Structure 1
Amino acid sequence: MSNPLNKLMPAVLEHAGIWQGTYRHIDSQGQTLDFHRSQVECVFPVEGPVVYIQRNQFTWDDGRVFNVAFDGIIKDDKIYWDTDTFKGFGWVASPNIFLLELERKDEPGAWFYESIVMGADKKHRARTWHWFKDGVCFKRTLCDEHLLINT
């Protein structure tokens, strides 16, 4: 058996593995609101309705650690998520760009649009999130990651 993404959007499978990096949240004036380290694991199961699993661990210099995991399914030829904190979908825009449009459930009225750009070496990626509320961009998230373990 194979994951349906093999046919629907094979480029997204290049994200399989464990990625390490940093997240920097900045306000609309470019001031840092938050900075933390990340470890993101992307898994693509070959059986069942779940086609994508992501497990995140975020760590801060003050010792805080936050772990979260979420699953994605196929809906309308996109990967669809519906978690406690967000819902929305993602699709491949080009062989090296994966786009997401997500509504924040934990922040009423807020949306973010994420682009994940894979480097040519397939071992580095850059992610940017543009956060909107009431039609205005109020925050951005900048992520730089490298592939630690390819699975």
Structure 2
Amino acid sequence: MSIFDDFHKAMPTMAKHAGIWEGIYTHIDVDANVIDRHKTRVVCEFPTEGEHVYIQHNHFMWEDGREYKARLPGVYRDGRLWWDLDTFHGSSWETDEGLIMLDLDRKDDPGANFYEIIALGKTGQHRARTWHWFKDGKLFKRTLCDETKIG
């Protein structure tokens, strides 16, 4: 069995996220005030060879014309998907109920980390992601991601 087979066996719901997702990310502070909002296009790909079992491509777009793009390749080991990038490191796993969980530490902001939960709707065409941001152990914001699969 290959590492790719092991990955898909350990995280079977993850494969349902393959494709192109568009949506809105809304960042709120602890009092639920909107502090940022932008459109997003996320491409989730699952290579079948090479070092990476998963590659996520993010494209964030703000109304004022700003844009941000990132490529986030992950490797599979010890039953989890792992990242070690310039901006963050950490891992992801899947619950028995098919929720995707992430625990990520920010390298570009020492003392900051976030936990993410990804829930895929029953049709596989809509997903919700929530990020819970902490700085030195104290919650300081949340991110709400509402996405629709377009391809």
The one of 72, 97, 100 equivalent to 2:99 is: 97
SS at match of 1:14: helix
TM-score, normalised by the number of residues in structure 2: 0.94
Structure 2 contact 57–70 (Cα < 8 Å) conserved:
yes
Write the letter of the residue equivalent to 2:25.
Y
Aligned letter for 2:83? Answer: W
Unaligned runs of 5+ in 2: none
- Structure-2 residue corresponding to 1:68: 70
Q: In 1, Cα distance between the equivalents of 2:134 and 2:147?
A: 24
Q: Which residue of 1 aligns with 2:4?
A: 3
- Say which of 47, 68, 78 aligns to 1:45: 47
TM-score normalised by structure 1 residue count: 0.94
Could you tell me whether the CA contact under 8 Å between 2:23 and 2:148 is conserved in 1? Answer: yes
CA deviations on 1:43-68 (whole Å, 9 max, x unpaired) are 00001220000001000000111111
- Of all paired residues, the percent bearing the same amino acid is 49
Alignment RMSD, CA only?
Answer: 1.3
Q: How does 1:1-151 map to 2 (within 5 A)?
A: 3-4=4-5, 5-149=7-151
Give the conservation status (yes or no) of the 8 Å contact 2:10–2:94: no
Aligned to 2:70, the other structure's residue is in SS state strand
Distance in 2 between residues matched to 1:106 and 1:2, nearest whole Å:
30
Paired with 1:34 and 1:61, the residues of 2 have a C-alpha distance of: 11
In structure 1, stretches of 5+ residues that fail to align are: none
Q: How many residues align?
A: 149
Q: Which has the higher strand share?
A: 1
Structure 1 letter corresponding to 2:86: D
What is the CA-CA distance between 1:19 and the residue it aligns to?
A: 0.2
